[in-house]
Chains A and B, each alone.
Chain A
Amino acid sequence: MLELIERFDFFGAVGLTLWLTLWGAILAFVLGTIVAIMRLSPVKALQFAGTVYVTAFRNTPLTLIVIASNLVLWNQLGLQLAPRDSASYIVDTNIRLAILSLAVYHAAFVCEALRSGVNTIPVGQAEAARSLGLTFAQNLRHIILPQALRGAITPLGNVLIALTKNTTVVTAIGVAQVSHSMARMIEFRSDVIILIFGLVAITFVALTLPMGMLTSWLSQRLAVRR
């Protein structure tokens, strides 16, 4: 097994998976929050745009989004995400396209998780804030979103775990994360195939189990007492 890990740079692949997860999660959270604000806003046009976003990306397979990011965004439309003269131009571009795809896709789920958090807040909270003279933006920032976030920790944790595992999909554009390294191991060492699958499975459990435990703990600790 050690030989496998060394020969196929498995730790490097795990590192890349973590990198994709980290940036994918941060960007998905930011984008998802923006879309959630659009869907919660009193402006009809923003609500509509938010709904379209969620409907479009929640119902499209991630593989499709990943491949389209490469073939359409980069090849056809010429989106440049890395310096062209760099030696790692193609690798960097694909990693960044992968992060972008993961973020755009999971933002739809982050948005819906936050909206489910908003539903845990009694109507009176927003009414009290409005009657104090807080504007819509202040109301969101100080009253609604902090409470929605606390009520949405468990579903947000689910999105994070799904995102971690969905990083495997970006093999489709050749990003050398864990599943990509798994494919190469299988190709060259099909004699130890059970070991390979076991190694990858345990790796993902080791990554996602702490996330689940952390979110359960946080959701209890930060629960809003009513």
Chain B
Amino acid sequence: MTDTTRRTEGLGQPLVVLKDVNKHFGDLHVLKDINLTVREGEVVVVIGPSGSGKSTLCRTINRLETFESGSITIKGVELPKEGKALAKLRADVGMVFQSFNLFHHKTILENVTMGPVKVRKMKPAEAKEHAMKLLTRVGVEHQANKYPAQLSGGQQQRVAIARSLAMNPTVMLFDEPTSALDPEMINEVLDVMTSLAHSGMTMIVVTHEMGFARKAADRVVFMSDGAIVEENTPEEFFTNPQSARAKDFLGKILTH
């Protein structure tokens, strides 16, 4: 049938496993007993209303946010608490932010070669060659020697994706990657993400882009008030949501 089914059959071993994860911001219970397993090659899209904890969930997976109880394992390895071990693990987990967060004092090329050279100890010439290939892949190779502020938001976000890819990550996290973009630039970023999904990259994507969820996701996870309320294939979720909260949410966003 669709590309989605073919991909689902080919899924591998569990890669990212969250078990009973809980987190509070003061009195606010932002993550409630989160259980989630993401398999190798799987694309999981997390959606839900603002303040439902989806961004926090995403940031918890590479420990940009701490959590109080439960466990997160990546490739069977428990997330280290601090220090070099955590840095080593983060190198294998790509992260794309809502506000791009390119290094403002470095050129586009330097942004992409920074990780491979400093963390992977790759030779600068080799890193540069690899970086240019990735920049070509995301379509910003002509901007290589410019600074981030000289690029449009869409271009900056594509560079941020290339910067993550340069580390050859085993999984990539996307924290609302298109939410800070002007409408006409959203598609150029989604196109790159879709092709990445089809290339077999394991992805966890927090987004409001329902079109992307339908097109590229293997599974949709719906969060509300800090809990996972429902998960299903995109087709099932969008045509036949089970919970009242999911129905309410979809009713609000799909009416226009």
Contact = CB atoms under 8 A, between A and B. Distances in A.
A134 interface: yes
Contacts, number: 71
A42 B66 CA distance: 15
A131 B99 contact: no
Nearest to B166: A132
Interface string A106-135: 000000000000000010110111111111
Contacts of A128: 95, 97, 101-103, 160
What's the dominant secondary structure at chain B's contact region? mixed
Interface string B85-129: 001111111110101111111000000001100110000000000
A132 B147 contact: no
A132 B104 contact: no
A142 B99 contact: no
Contacts of B62: 131
A98 B51 CA distance: 58
B229 to A, nearest CB: 28
A127 B163 contact: no
B87 A130 contact: yes
A130 B119 contact: no
Contact of A150 (B101, B105, B115, B163): B105
Given A130-B64, A131-B64, A125 B87 contact: no
A131 B118 contact: no
Query: Most chain-B Cβ atoms within 10 A of its Cβ — which of A124, A128, A225?
Result: A128
A142 B90 contact: no
A129 B167 CA distance: 12
Given A131-B62, A133-B88, 13 more contacts: A124-B97, A124-B99, A127-B64, A128-B95, A130-B90, A131-B64, A132-B91, A132-B114, A133-B90, A134-B115, A138-B118, A224-B104, A225-B147
10 contacts: A122-B99, A122-B101, A127-B64, A127-B97, A128-B97, A129-B103, A130-B87, A134-B114, A225-B147, A226-B149
